[in-house]
Amino acid sequence: MKDRRTEWFVPSLGPLKLRIFIGLLFLPYTGMVLAYAVIGSMLANPIHWDRAGAILVIYFLALGVGAHALDALGSKGVKPWGKVFSKGQLWALAVSSIVAAYAIGIYYMVLYTPLLWLIAIPEGFFVFAYNLEWFKGRFHTDAWFAFSWGSLPVLAGYVLQTNRVSAAALLVAASMGLLSLVEIKASRPYKEMKRDIAETREIDSAHIQRLESILKSLSLGVILLGAGMASLRWFG
């Protein structure tokens, strides 16, 4: 099968459409982005927990659902998830989730944190420019990936809490951007090798296992870091 149904984060059991939908969400990598937003939120003092919850919902909808649906649409003729979802269904999924995410964000930006517009606007641009490979794929690069889905979520979480930017938030944002760069540098060759398996080409199984181990460890480590920081602030 020339699709991604054999990825480690896709359930092997259950109805096909549900399995593909779960795969489409790229949950380990979406979890990393949500953790970045939490990490940024936890740098603030005091914590507005409703806003911490809101940034999680915003990024789950806009990135987890919307951006990944657009990514399936913008794969230059390749159908990484097969033909389970039509183009119309993917567009409906993308547009509805992104609109819902921005509706939540606009509520907070209008009432409490207008500075968040400085992040919401470029994030909206990258959702389309990166995933649909606009401008001849100029923004579909590892560096822009790290910036848009690593650094900006940290700043979004912090700004939604404080309506300002701090040196500490910028440093942590840069750190998480570098972790995202590691993730995408491992993910691209891993994806290519998984495609080679699907096309019955010869592959280095030890190499693909190493890359998969890196991706699993990195995603789980970042998620646990976000959960640990949230637990510290909640119970501390």
Q: Which H/E stretch holds residue 52? A: helix 49-59
Exposed e or buried b for every residue in 26-47, given b needs 16+ CB within 10 A?
bbbbbbbbbbbbbbbbbbbeee
- In the predicted model, what is the mean pLDDT of residues 217-223? 98
For residue range 170-216, what is the model confidence (pLDDT) as tens digits?
A: 999 999 999 999 999 999 998 888 776 655 566 678 888 999 999 99
Q: What angle, 0 to 180 degrees and rounded to 10, lies between the N-to-C axes of helices 87-111 and 49-59?
A: 160
For residue range 147-176, what is the model confidence (pLDDT) as tens digits?
A: 999 999 999 999 999 999 999 999 999 999
CB atoms near residue 219 (< 10 Å):
22
pTM for the full predicted model: 0.94
Provide the residue ranges of all domains of the chain, joining segments of one domain with +: 16-235
67 vs 124: CA distance, rounded Å: 10
Who's near 184: CB < 8 A, 6+ residues apart?
A: 142, 145, 146
pLDDT class for 1, splitting at 50, 70, 90?
A: very low
88 vs 102: CA distance, rounded Å: 21
30 vs 47: CA distance, rounded Å: 23
**pLDDT for res 23:** 93
Supply 182's token pair: 């590691």
For residue range 2-22, what is the model confidence (pLDDT) as tens digits?
A: 567 778 899 989 998 999 999
